[in-house]
Chains A and B, each alone.
Chain A
Amino acid sequence: MAILLLIYIIVCLIWLFWAGILTYLVLRYRYPDKIGVTMLLIFWGVSIAILVISAIFLSRADWVTVPPFFNSVAATY
C-alpha cells in the first residue's frame, strides 16, 4: 500500500516541477498588468486547496483493510 502513496508523491513532484516552470515563466516575462500575478495566485490557491483536501482524505483513509470489492475479486481468482 505504501507503494501507492509513493507513486502519488512522485506524480505530485512532477506536477510541482511543471507548476514551478509556469510560475517562473509568468514572473520572468510578466507584463505590467495585474492579470499575470492574479491568475498565478488563483492557480496556486486552487492547487493547494486540492492538495490539502486530498491529504485530509488520505490521512483518514484505511491503508490496511482491503474492502469487500477487492476480496470478492481476489476470491474469484
Chain B
Amino acid sequence: MSVKYFESQQEGEEVVLLIRRHILALASVMAIAFLIYLIGLIAVFVLPFIAPVMVKGFALNIYVILISLLFLFNTIFLFNNWVLHYLHVAILTTEHFVEINQMGLFARKVSEMTLEKIQDVSASQKGLLHTMFDIGEVVIETAGEAPNFVIEFAPGPNKISQQIMDTERSYCEMHGIRTTGVSGNANNNTFIQQANAMNPQSQPEMPEPNIEYPGEQWK
C-alpha cells in the first residue's frame, strides 16, 4: 500500500469510496466572495473615471493599498473555506468507515468505526437544487450508543448508500459475521433465529442463567 488516506489505515485496507461534500455546499461563500471581487473590479476600473482626484498622488497610495487588501483577504477567505471543504471527507474502506471533519483551522475531528457496526443506511434528497444536482443527505445509523454518521451535500446519495451497503455485506461475509445491519435487514436476527429453530443442532448451547434474587433474603 503506497498511499494512506488516514492515520489508522491498516496494511491491505483498500479505500472503496472517498466522499466529499458537493461544491454547492460552498455556494453562499462563493457568492459573497465573487460579489466582493466584483466590487473591487468596479473600484479599479470605474473609480478613476468618476473621481480622478482619488487616484493621484497620496490618495493613490490609499486607493492601491485598500484595493490590494480587499483582493488579498477576499482570496484567502475563499481559499480558507475551500480548505475546510476539501479536508472534510468521509472515507469508506474495506474495513472501516471514517469521517474526518475539519471544523476550523485548528479543530479537527476523526470518527471511525468498523463496518459491522453499521445498522442502517438511508439517503434523502430535499428541494429543487438537491434533485437537480443529485445531492442529498446520507445517514449511517450505528449500533449501540455510538453517534450516527451524517454526510450532508453528498453527491449521488443513493449510489453512496448502495456502495456502503455492498461493502458492509462483503465485509460481513469475509469475516463470517452475522449482523443485524444492512447486509440482511433489520429483521435479520429473526431469520437467524428461525433458521436455528429448524436445525436445533446448529444452535450453540446457552449456559443456564444464574440469577439470584436478593429479594428472598430481605423477607
Contacts and interface: CB of A to CB of B under 8 A. Distances in A.
B65 A1 contact: no
Contacts of B60: 57, 61-62, 67
A26 to B, nearest CB: 6
Contacts of A66: 57-58
A55 B109 CA distance: 40
Contacts of A58: 61, 64-65
B41 interface: no
Interface residues of B, number: 33
Interface in A48-77: 50-51, 53-54, 57-58, 61-70
Interface in A30-47: 31-32, 35-36, 39, 43, 46-47
A67 B86 contact: no
A21 B87 CA distance: 14
A39 B58 contact: no
Given A47-B76, A50-B72, A51-B72, A29 B102 contact: yes
Contacts of A46: 75
Interface residues of A, number: 38
Contacts of A1: 58, 61
A71 B3 CA distance: 64
A39 B57 contact: no
A32 B61 contact: no
Contacts of B62: 4
B16 interface: no
A50 B71 contact: yes
Interface in B35-72: 53-54, 56-62, 64-65, 67-69, 71-72
5 contacts: A1-B61, A25-B83, A39-B82, A51-B68, A61-B57
Interface of A: 1, 4-5, 8, 11-12, 15, 18-19, 21-22, 25-26, 29, 31-32, 35-36, 39, 43, 46-47, 50-51, 53-54, 57-58, 61-70
Interchain residue pairs A-B with the least CB separation, the first 5 = A54-B68, A67-B57, A32-B3, A57-B64, A65-B57
Given A43-B79, A47-B72, A67-B57, 4 more contacts: A18-B80, A29-B102, A46-B75, A53-B68
